[in-house]
Chain A
Amino acid sequence: MIRLDLNENPYPPPRSVLEEAEKGLREVNRYCEQACLDELKRSIEEYTGIPWRSIKLSPGSDTILREIIHSFSIDRKVIMLNPSFLPTLECAKRHSRKMVKFHITPPEFILKREILQEEAREPSLVIIDNPNNPTGREFLDKDLVVDLLDNKNTLLVIDEAYYEFSGNTFSNLVNEYGNLAVTRTLDKAFSLAGLRVGYLLAGEKFMEGLSDFNVILPRPSVYAAIAALKNMQYVMENARRIRSERKRLIRELNKLGIEAYKSSTNFILVKSEFPGLGDKLRVKGIAVRDLSRDWIPGYYRISVGLPEENNILLETLKEILADESNN
Chain B
Amino acid sequence: MKLGLIVNPIAGMGGSVGLKGTDGDAYRKALELGATPVSPVRIRQVLSLVKRRDINFLVAPGKMGEDYIRGTGFIYEVVGSIGEQTTADDTKKIAREMVDRGVDLLIFVGGDGTARDIADAVDLKIPVLAIPSGVKMFSSVFVVSPYAAARIMDSFTADMPLVEREVMDIDEEAFRQNKLAARLYSYLKVPGIEPLLQASKEASNTSKSEEAQKREIAEYIVENMEDGYVYLLGPGTTLKAIAGKIGVEKTLLGIDAVYNGKLVGKDLNEKGILELIDTYGRARIIVTPIGGNGFIFGRASKQFTPEVLRRVGKENTIVVGTKGKILKLKHLRVDTGDEEVDRMLSGPIKVVIGYNEELLMEVRA
Contact = CB atoms under 8 A, between A and B. Distances in A.
Interface in A104-137: 105, 112, 115-116, 118-119
B145 interface: yes
A105 B359 CA distance: 12
B357 A93 contact: yes
A276 B195 contact: yes
A103 B195 contact: no
Contact of A324 (B147, B351, B357): B147
A115 B362 contact: yes
A264 B269 CA distance: 53
Contacts of B49: 327
Contact of B195 (A102, A112, A292): A292
Given A93-B355, A100-B360, A101-B360, A298 B195 contact: yes
B318 interface: no
Interface in B322-365: 324, 326-330, 348, 350-351, 353-362
B151 interface: yes
A297 interface: yes
Interface in A197-249: none
A293 B354 CA distance: 14
Contacts of A194: none
B69 interface: no
Contacts of B353: 101
Contacts of A82: 327, 359
A327 B45 CA distance: 9
B356 A327 contact: no
Contacts of B358: 98-101
B196 interface: yes
B348 A275 contact: no
A104 B355 CA distance: 20
Contacts of B50: none
A102 B328 contact: no
A94 B360 CA distance: 18
B199 A112 contact: no
Contact of B359 (A96, A101, A277): A101
Nearest to A83: B327
A119 B360 contact: yes
Nearest to B207: A293
Contacts of A105: 327-330
A273 interface: yes
B360 A275 contact: no
A295 interface: yes
A107 to B, nearest CB: 10
Contacts, number: 78
A115 B360 contact: yes
A126 to B, nearest CB: 12
Contact of A119 (B197, B348, B357): B348
Nearest to A98: B356
Contacts of A94: 356
B150 to A, nearest CB: 9
Interface residues of B, number: 33
A28 interface: no
Nearest to B196: A275
B147 A275 contact: yes
A296 interface: yes
Contacts of A93: 354-357
A275 B145 contact: yes
Interface in A161-179: none
B78 interface: no
Contacts of B225: none
Contact of B199 (A115, A273, A277, A324): A273
A277 B148 CA distance: 12
Nearest to B208: A293
B194 interface: yes
A275 B355 contact: no
A115 B144 CA distance: 36
A59 to B, nearest CB: 27
B357 A297 contact: no
Contacts of B145: 275
Contacts of A327: 49, 147
Given A93-B354, A93-B356, A275 B195 contact: yes
Contacts of B360: 100-103, 115-116, 119
Given A82-B327, A276-B151, A296-B327, A103 B356 contact: no
Contacts of A297: 194-195, 197, 199, 206, 324, 328
Interface of B: 49, 144-145, 147-148, 151, 193-197, 199, 206-207, 324, 326-330, 348, 350-351, 353-362
6 shortest A-B CB distances, which residue pairs? A297-B194, A103-B361, A275-B195, A115-B348, A293-B207, A105-B330
Interface of A: 82, 93-94, 96, 98-103, 105, 112, 115-116, 118-119, 273, 275-277, 292-293, 295-298, 324, 327
Given A103-B327, A115-B360, A273-B144, 9 more contacts: A82-B327, A98-B356, A100-B360, A103-B351, A273-B199, A276-B151, A292-B206, A297-B194, A297-B199
27 contacts: A82-B359, A98-B356, A99-B358, A100-B358, A100-B360, A101-B353, A101-B358, A103-B326, A103-B359, A105-B327, A115-B348, A118-B348, A119-B360, A275-B144, A275-B145, A275-B147, A275-B148, A275-B151, A275-B196, A277-B195, A292-B206, A292-B207, A293-B206, A296-B328, A297-B194, A297-B195, A327-B49
